[in-house]
Structure formats: C-alpha cells, structure tokens
Amino acid sequence: MLRGFWRVASLAIVLGLGLSLVACGQVGKLQAKRAFKDANVQYAQQEYKRAAALYEEAIAADPEAPYAHFFLANSYDNLYKPSRKGEKDNDAFLEKAIQYYKKAAEVEKDPLYKKRSMEYLVAAYGPDKMNDPTQQKPIVDQMIQIDPQDVTNYFALAKINEDEGDYPKAEELLNKAKEARPNDPQVYLQLAGFYNRQEEFEKTIEALKQRAAIEPNNPEAFYTISTYYWDKAYRDFRLKENEKKDYVLKGIEQVDKALQLKPDYMEALTYKNLLLRLEANLEKDVPKQQALIKEADKLRDEAITLKKKKTAGVIK
C-alpha cells in the first residue's frame, strides 16, 4: 500500500515538473513576444540601441524567437558607422551584427529571413565594412547551393571574383547564371556589363543581342544596343574611320528596331540623332552630310517636343 502511494506520488511530482516546465516555456514565449513587439516600435523609430536591448531581451526569454536574431543583428548593423571605422565601440557594433546574422542564418525558420540574414552577412564583409571577400565567398556559395535558380547570388559571387582579378572565374559564374535562368534578361545585362568592363566589345554586343532575342518586343533591349555602338564609335579614338562608320550604322539599325516598336520613344530618338551626327562627321559627300544633319535636327526636335509633353503630363 505504502509502496503504491510513493509510486503515485513520484508520478505526480514528475507530471508536476513537466507541467511547470511547459508553463515556464509558455511564459518565456509570451515575454519574448512582448519584448519583440516593443523592440519593433523602437526599430521603426530608428532607436537602434533601445531596439537591440529589447531584441536581446526577447532572445533571452525565447532563444528561438522568430525574426529576433535578424532584427537584433540589423539593429547593430545600423549602429555601425563606416566613417568611424577603427573606433573600438563602433567596430563592436559590426562584430555583434555579424554574430547575430550568423545565428539568424542558423536558427531562422522563415526562408526569406534566412536568405536575408545571409545577404546582410555578405554585405557586412563588404568593402565599406569588414572588407574581407574571403569571408563573403563561402556564404554566397552556400546561398547558391540552397537556391541554384536565384541568379543574384551568381552575380554577387562573380563580382567578388572580378574585384579580386579572377576574371575567368567571374565569367564562369555568370555563364552558370545563364544556364540556370536562360530566359532572364538580367543575366545577359550582367554579362554585357562584365565584358564591357574588360573592354571586350564584341562579347558585350553579343550578350546584349542575346538579351534582345529573348525580348523581341521590348524596344529598350534594342535601344540599349544602339547606345553601346554610339559610345564605342564616339569615345574609342583607336578606331579607324571605316570601323567607326560600321559601328554607327549598326547602332542606327538597332535604334530603328526600337523605334519600330515604339515610335515615340524619346531616348531612342535622341540616340538616333546622335548616331546620325556621327555618321555625318564621317561622310565625305557634302549633300549626304547635310541630309544626315537635317534628319538629326528633326529627330532632336521631336525628342524635345516629347520631353515637354511628358513634363506637362500630356503623355506618359
């Protein structure tokens, strides 16, 4: 009888402890929610020190409090001032931001905030902060593994490699982005920008033409190509006259495609005007030269009229 009593009593104690632990857990979650809510108010008012203290309070009450680690990290990130780099207290803010971004990337269950934590962590190692690309690379590489279809991560990693002078690796990553999203115009614009910085003009144009091929009804795609042709013909003094004229004519061909799709395309009209003037400068036949200038003047006037109408709100 006595033995049975102690068995029941022991069970009651165990159950009581379990219930109290559950109760404590619930209290902790309520405290965390309250602190998190108060922290959000301070965060919205850009009172980042107060917000950080409250986010830390929320995490102390509930170490798995959703979003708390990210916003705590971001509060410290906002407290850091690049202009005061080297000051102990200021640098400590960035160190704490990195610490909590890493923690957020580990514990955050919301995929969006997990991703955002990693993006901000990459930025924390960027040029105006820690300036440590060796720390950036593995994080971005992990982001690519998590979501191979998100081409922005390929772009970021390619830029890091480009800045380090590893141009073959940067190009490889941009081509991987193209493989992942072959119908994304941004992929080709990124490739074009990369090739342009390397002064590989033909590859730049090829990337832009590939972009236009997937957007055949987008006048901006053809207009963009024309601007690159104009810039090359106008600025590259190494070109021979026949090479300049070839680029000018190719630019006109592209801008005409843009204007066929959108006759009132003000920017395209402006660039066709500029291309025609370049052609006129290269023309030896005086009557042809004057005809080109006359056409250029007409296009310039059309562009000015359109701009005035847009400013007045007559057209969008």
The answer, yes or no, to whether residue 1 has pLDDT greater than 60, is no
10 Å CB burial of residue 161 (0-12, 13-18, 19+) is: buried
Percent of the chain with pLDDT over 70: 91
pLDDT value of residue 18? 43
Q: Are residues 96 and 165 in the same domain?
A: no
Percent of the chain with pLDDT over 90: 82
Four-point Cα dihedral 196, 202, 204, 206, nearest 10: 180
The answer, yes or no, to whether residue 23 has pLDDT greater than 90, is no
Confidence grade of residue 311 (pLDDT, cut at 50, 70, 90): confident
Q: Which two tokens stand for residue 12?
A: 């009651």
| Higher-pLDDT residue of 25, 66 | 66
pLDDT, tens digit, 9 for 90 and up, residues 47-72: 999 999 999 999 999 988 889 999 99
Residue 22 lies inside a defined structural domain of this protein:
no
Domain interval for residue 108: 29-142
pLDDT value of residue 28? 64
Question: Contact 223/255 with Cβ under 8 angstroms?
Answer: yes
**165 DSSP assignment:** T
Q: Are residues 39 and 133 in the same domain?
A: yes
Cα distance between residue 261 and residue 234, in whole Å = 26
Residue 11 lies inside a defined structural domain of this protein:
no
Cα distance between residue 94 and residue 129, in whole Å = 8
Cα distance between residue 33 and residue 152, in whole Å = 34
Q: Are residues 128 and 166 in the same domain?
A: no
Q: Are residues 137 and 152 in the same domain?
A: no
| Higher-pLDDT residue of 246, 17 | 246
Residue 72 lies inside a defined structural domain of this protein:
yes
Question: Contact 275/229 with Cβ under 8 angstroms?
Answer: yes
Residue spans of alpha helices (H) in the chain:
2-44, 48-61, 68-79, 88-107, 111-124, 133-146, 151-163, 167-180, 185-197, 201-214, 219-235, 241-261, 266-282, 286-312
pLDDT, tens digit, 9 for 90 and up, residues 168-227: 999 999 999 999 999 999 999 999 999 999 999 999 999 999 999 999 999 999 999 999
Cα distance between residue 189 and residue 238, in whole Å = 26
pLDDT, tens digit, 9 for 90 and up, residues 128-146: 899 999 999 999 999 999 9
Number of domains in the chain: 3
Q: For all residues of the chain together, what is the average pLDDT?
A: 90
The answer, yes or no, to whether residue 2 has pLDDT greater than 50, is no
Cα distance between residue 107 and residue 130, in whole Å = 24
Cα distance between residue 11 and residue 17, in whole Å = 10
For range 111-125, the mean pLDDT: 93
Residue 225 lies inside a defined structural domain of this protein:
yes
Confidence grade of residue 29 (pLDDT, cut at 50, 70, 90): confident
10 Å CB burial of residue 6 (0-12, 13-18, 19+) is: exposed
Residues with Cβ within 8 Å of residue 221, at least 6 apart in sequence: 185, 208, 211, 212, 215, 258
Residues with Cβ within 8 Å of residue 160, at least 6 apart in sequence: 133, 136, 137, 140
Q: Are residues 95 and 185 in the same domain?
A: no
Q: Are residues 221 and 291 in the same domain?
A: yes
Q: Are residues 181 and 230 in the same domain?
A: no
Q: Which two tokens stand for residue 111?
A: 């995929």
pLDDT value of residue 204? 98
